[in-house]
Amino acid sequence: MLRVAETADVAAVRQFGEVHIRSHYTPLIGAEAAERQVRRWWNETELAAAAAAGRVVVAEDGGEVAGVGQIGADCVVGELYLEPLHRGQGLGPKLLGTLAARVPDGGLRVEHFAADQRAGAFYEREGFAVERIEAGLGGDPALAVVRRTRGTVRCPHGWRVRETGLACLDDLEVVFPGEPPEAVAVRFAERHAATHHLDRRLFFAVQATAPGLNARLEGVGNYVDGRGLAQFLDRLDFRGWEGEQRWTSADRDVSVAATYRPGGRIELAWTIRPWRQSVFGEWEATVLTSIEAGAEKDELAARLHHFLTAEGFPVDYR
């Protein structure tokens, strides 16, 4: 599972660095330089600040940290490491794609030591070309810093597909209408799937519109919740209930509160916001929509279920 690191994860991420970073770098750049890397980038203060800014992503396996990716405030990926047993399983592109999706348009860059040929080969496969090479400490060629970037390729919906490792799927959309429906709506659209053969994630856009408001959230994923939102809507009782029923995505970027209203209507209060403390900045938008509690609700739940289904996408994995 991939998720943004929180303050409570700092100790585990720091331990990951202590265990893996020193042993990774020592054969490449020497013990002294490897120790500097651990002290400089994998200390509690540095990691806590990066986690608080939403710039650290962790991959977990059985509750243990299996990989870590970190992006700087300058939109440069400087740390992307996997536990050795998890290499070769498509986890690296997932970490990189998740970081890339949080970077302003076309701004993602990466860097690595010249001695780290494994990292260089990985970034080459992911489409990053060498931009420049900067001299290393003391003129040591092993410590030269290779800086890479890659061009922006957009799909018909305007998404950056090359650097995020995604393929544009179709124009399918699901619309929840408000009042009046021509001015107020919440729209799920622009499905994209990861192109790596081991990566079954689906991403899409959510747009909330109302008079004076046009909020759009790109890169919302179903890879943790699956069809949870559709199932939430499907379980709403047409006979009514007291108070609010709520659903929130694992990334907390989309949430909805359902309230039963007289006349057999369901009011849905949708809130969208960027991924927690993302590099895009912080904002939040809420829009109210209303649907009939019986057939209309069931039809929209079924359409959303189909929209969020990851099987059968027309993606060529060859």
Please compute, for residue 231, the number of CA atoms within 13 A of its CA located in the half-sphere on the CB side: 8
Token digits of residue 266: 């369901």
What is the DSSP-derived secondary structure letter of residue 215?
E
Amino acid in position 209: T
Compute the Cα dihedral for 61, 102, 310, 184 and give only its sign. Answer: positive
Tell me if 189 sits within 8 A of 309, measured CB to CB. Answer: no
Residue written as token pair 């809507």? 233
Residue 44 pLDDT exceeds 70: yes
pLDDT at 127 exceeding the cut of 90: no
The tens digit of pLDDT for each residue in 110-125 reads 999 999 999 999 998 8
Phi, psi values for residue 230, rounded to 5°: -60, -40
Over residues 184-209, the pLDDT tens digits come to: 999 999 998 877 767 777 889 999 99
What pLDDT band is residue 128 in, cutting at 50, 70 and 90?
confident
In this prediction, residue 174 carries a pLDDT of 96
Question: Which pLDDT score, from 0 to 100, does residue 152 have?
Answer: 64
Q: What percent of the chain clears pLDDT 70, i.e. is strictly above it?
A: 89
Q: What are phi and psi of 31, to 5 degrees?
A: -65, -40
State the span(s) of the chain assigned CATH 3.40.630.30.
2-151
Residue type, 164: T
Look at residue 318 in the predicted model and tell me its pLDDT.
24
Q: Is 38 or 197 the better-scoring residue by pLDDT?
A: 38
Q: How far apart are CA 127 and CA 26, in angstroms?
A: 27
Check residue 315 and give its pLDDT.
36
CATH topology assigned to domain 166-307 = Transcriptional Co-activator pc4; Chain A (2.30.31)
Do 309 and 205 touch, CB atoms closer than 8 A? no
Note the pLDDT of residue 125.
87
Whether the Cβ atoms of residue 96 and residue 77 lie closer than 8 Å to each other? yes
Of the ranges 26-35, 151-160, 287-296, which one carries the lowest mean pLDDT score? Answer: 151-160
CATH 2.30.31 residue ranges in the chain?
Answer: 166-307
Burial of 242 from C-beta contacts in 10 A (0-12 / 13-18 / 19+): exposed
Q: 108 CB contacts (<8 Å, ≥6 apart)?
A: 71, 75, 77, 99, 100, 149, 150, 163
Task: Please check whether residue 189 is in contact with residue 158, taking contact to mean a CB–CB distance below 8 angstroms.
Answer: no
Fold topology of 2-151: Aminopeptidase (3.40.630)
What is the rounded distance in angstroms from the CA atom of residue 82 to the CA atom of residue 48?
20
pLDDT 10s digits, 69-105: 998 888 889 889 999 888 888 889 889 988 887 776 6
**This prediction's pTM:** 0.56
Quickly list DSSP for 120-176.
HHHHHHTTPEEEEEEPPGGG-GGGPEEEEE----B-TT--BHHHHTEEE-----EEE
48, amino acid identity: A
